Amino acid sequence: MTSDSPAISADAAAGAALAAALEALPKVELHCHVEGTMRASTVVELARTAGIPLPTADVTELYRYTSLDEFLSVFWLVQSTLRTRDDWARLGYESVLDAARHGRVYGELFFTPARHLAAGTALADVVAGLADGLAAAEAETGSITMLIADIDRAFGPAAGVRMVEELGRLRRANAPGMARVLGVGMDSTELGVDPASFREAYRLAARHGFRLTGHQGENSPPSAIATLVDDLGAERVDHGLSLVDDPELVARFAAERIPLTVCPNSNIRIANAFPALAAHPFPAMRAAGLLATLNTDDPALTDLDLGYEYASCAAAFGYTFDDMVTIALDGVAASWLPAAESAALRTRISAAADALRPD
């Protein structure tokens, strides 16, 4: 045994204790695509039922890729297996069960139905199916999940307007599941797409009473983030990485407490934006006073979960348990929970933190 073995052992034990506490800590997630939570085994079963050929018969090989293009191909394949209301229900149910095991007690999840709507699927069936599954999982776990309907930029502004119009109609009709749809967002490719081109869809969503967010700044400049907020009316920004390149905009976002839903591990595993987690700008965002939260993005497709997200970021950025509790509480602040429910969740997290705090 070497002379430094006891110190190494103590450090490892402390790291394991911190990871275990963060796994159990009640947490909020605001940037997670429900399609990106589908178990590989579920993809195989749904594909078999739908007669969709898969690139491999080995489930363990399905979620492996070396580039963003390969990832997107798998993501679209996953989406294509969702054919019926029951399929969406299964996805929602399993998604919540898997997240609850790692401490998620509240989530606002994206779903992106553009491909399904273009193929003739009724938006009402997508929403109702997801809501069925979320309700069943909520009854088992107590983990609450709400929904955000994302516009897919790849399908263009007109498709976005049509989706929002239908969401508005379903909301007015009090259609099954619509009570869970809090907001409208926007995802898919940013390169070469002016966010202002989706102005009509966002303004229509605001008139229908939906909350507003949008993916921006993952591979677009700070000016695009400003457009999303100032022109489209977004209340928070998903990713927002390029914000750090504009000190004036950083100062404004910090002063106004405009939330950023950041996904550090995803930015490495999907976007290859940084060589290692330690190089991610998340600590710089937090140090600048930004309301930057931690999220998984597409956890099943990238072998992630929210407990690991917290533990790995704590290790990479040198954060303490109390630092991570502050981040968890900021997740509540960034959420769209009503004031009373937000306060109750903050109290729950703080009480759990007192019980879980490692020695």
Catalytic annotation, residues: 218
112-114-117-118 Cα dihedral, nearest 10 degrees: -160
DSSP letter for each residue of 175-200? -TTGGGEEEEEEES--TT--GGGGHH
Rounded distance, CA 228 to CA 223, Å?
Answer: 9
Strand, helix or coil for residue 151: strand
Rounded distance, CA 226 to CA 208, Å?
Answer: 23
Rounded distance, CA 318 to CA 135, Å?
Answer: 38
- How many angstroms separate the Cα of 289 from the Cα of each of 31, 223, 253, 320, 322? 20, 20, 9, 17, 17
CA-based nearest residue to 285, from 251, 324, 319, 318? 251
For residues 239 and 263, is the Cβ–Cβ distance under 8 A?
yes
Rounded distance, CA 292 to CA 283, Å?
Answer: 9
For residues 356 and 315, is the Cβ–Cβ distance under 8 A?
no
